[in-house]
């Protein structure tokens, strides 16, 4: 003899099964969100540390430029023909706004990855490194344009085998980049050729 299950009990059983399914799904999504959150916190700490390093490097570079200028000024004052260095104006030949010199973006990408000493740098970290070398403070629109150019250049350099992207478990993280076939003794901006290219 079969027991007839009342419709109200069927509804409760069905509801129970659906709730279990939803709980399992939500737990998986929560675990994934936790992992993403931890990764973002880690990346933000890296980006902050990289920004501090980049700022210090920029200050050191500025001090070196000023030191070089003092040496040139001293040499000018020693010359037979007296020249007052203070009356020499800076050269401004570029009329249209140019944020970086030709080829500068590629050089800066290599510099940023070289300074990483074998660790990866995210697209945001590379972008932050590059905009500290722009000739003027960029608006948000200009920053978006430069960031787009950086992303395109990274893809081009990867296609040429000069840099590599670090594999990630999640595809929604931003790109992480390393130098390809790089010797720690190589000068900045000159990755060594692999045996495939020789």
Per-residue pLDDT tens for 101-146?
778 889 999 989 988 888 889 999 999 888 887 777 778 888 888 8
Per-residue pLDDT tens for 73-103?
888 777 777 777 777 777 654 444 567 777 8
**Domain-wise residue ranges, the chain:** 9-86+101-179
| Pairing mode, strands 176-179 and 121-122 | antiparallel
pLDDT for 154 beyond 90: yes
b/e sequence 43-58, b meaning 16+ C-beta within 10 Å: beebbeebeeebeebe
Yes or no: is domain 9-86+101-179 CATH 1.10.3720.10? no
**Segment holding 6, helix H or strand E:** none
* Token pair of 99 as six digits: 């944020």
**Average pLDDT for the chain:** 77
Q: Note the pLDDT of residue 189.
A: 43
- The model carries a pTM of 0.44
Q: How far is CA 100 from CA 79, 107, 130, 137, 145, in A?
A: 34, 11, 9, 12, 13
Count CB atoms within 10 A of the CB of residue 12.
11
Place of tokens 């993403």: 36
Name which of 189, 190, 167, 166 is nearest 177 in CA terms: 166
């Amino acid at each position: 003899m079969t027991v007839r299950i009342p419709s109200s009990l069927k509804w409760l059983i069905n509801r129970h099964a659906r709730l279990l399914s939803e709980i399992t799904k939500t737990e998986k999504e929560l675990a994934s969100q936790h992992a993403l959150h931890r990764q973002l916190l880690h990346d933000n700490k890296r980006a902050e540390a990289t920004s501090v390093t980049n700022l210090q490097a920029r200050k050191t570079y500025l001090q070196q430029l000023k030191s070089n200028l003092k040496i040139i000024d001293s040499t000018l004052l020693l010359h037979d023909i007296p020249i007052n260095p203070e009356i020499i104006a800076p050269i401004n030949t570029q009329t249209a706004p140019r944020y970086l010199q030709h080829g500068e973006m590629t050089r800066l990408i290599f510099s940023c990855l070289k300074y990483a000493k074998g660790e990866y740098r995210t697209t945001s970290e590379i972008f932050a490194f590059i905009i500290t070398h722009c000739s003027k403070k960029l608006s948000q629109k200009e920053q978006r344009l430069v960031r787009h150019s950086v992303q395109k250049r990274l893809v081009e350099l990867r296609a040429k085998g000069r840099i590599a992207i670090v594999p990630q478990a999640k595809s929604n993280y931003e790109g992480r980049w390393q130098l390809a076939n790089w010797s720690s003794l190589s000068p900045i901006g000159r990755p060594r050729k692999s045996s495939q290219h020789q």
